[in-house]
Structure 1
Amino acid sequence: MQKKQWSPEQKLQIVLEALKEERHIGEIASEYGVHVSVIHRWKKELLEGADKVFATSKSAKAAAQEKRKQEETIENLYAQVGRLTTQLDWLKKKSGGILPRE
C-alpha cells in the first residue's frame, strides 16, 4: 500500500482545521485519512516555522526596495550618459576640428 502524498496546501488546510479546535482531532484525522500523530507533527512544524513567514516577508520587501533603487540608479546613469554623449557630439561639431573625432 502506497502512502498518500499531501500537498503543502492540503497539509495547511488540515492543520488549520485542527488549530480551530472546533472538532476533535480524531474526527479530522479520520475524515482526511491521516493518522492523528501526523496531524500533530504537521501542526508542530507549522508553529515552529511561523516566525520565518514574517522574517521572509521583511527581507523580501527590503530586497525589492533595494532592487528598485538599483534600477533607478541605472536609469539615471543611462540618462546622464545620453546627455554627456549629446554634449560631446555638439562640442565636437562646434570645435571645428580642435577636438579629435573618433
Structure 2
Amino acid sequence: MHSPAFKSKVGLAAIKGEKTLAELAQQFDVHPNQITTWESQLLEGAAGVFGQEKAEPKEAAVDLKSLHAKIGELTLANDFLEGALSKSGLLSAKR
C-alpha cells in the first residue's frame, strides 16, 4: 500500500505531463492504470483545498472538568507529600 504523499507525488507528475504514463510507471514502479486513478483523484480533490469552509471547532474529545478535577487531586497529593517529606527531613527546604 502506498502512502498519500507518494500518491500525490505520482499524481502531480502525471498532471505535469512531462513524461508518458509508461515512463512514470517505470519510474515509480506502479501500473499505469493506478497512475491514472491517482491523477483523477488528485484533480477531483483539488477544489476542496481552496473551497472548503472553515469548520466549526469540534467539541473537545476530553472532558475538561474531569481533567481539572484530576489536576486538583494531584496538586493536593503533591502538597501533602512535600509537607510529609519536609517534616521527615527527606526533602531539602531549598527546592
What is the TM-score when the length of structure 1 is the normalising length?
Answer: 0.50
String of CA shifts for 1:9-68, please: whole Å, max 9, x gaps. Answer: 000001111111111111111111100000001111111121111122xx22x747xxxx
String of CA shifts for 1:74-96, please: whole Å, max 9, x gaps. Answer: xxxxxxxxxxxxxxxxxxxxxxx
Residue ranges of structure 1 left out of the alignment (5+ in a row): 65-102
Q: Which 4+ runs in 1 deviate beyond 4 A?
A: none
Would you tell me which structure has more helix in proportion to its own residues? Answer: 1
Residues paired across the two proteins, number: 57
Identical counterparts, % of pairs:
37
Say which structure, 1 or 2, has more relative contact order (CA 8 Å, 6+ apart): 2
Q: CA deviation at 1:8?
A: 0.5
Q: Which residue of 2 aligns with 1:81?
A: none
Q: Which residue of 2 aligns with 1:12?
A: 8
Rg: which structure is higher?
Answer: 1
What is the TM-score when the length of structure 2 is the normalising length?
Answer: 0.53
Alignment pair present for 1:26 and 2:26: no
Q: Which residue of 1 aligns with 2:50?
A: 54
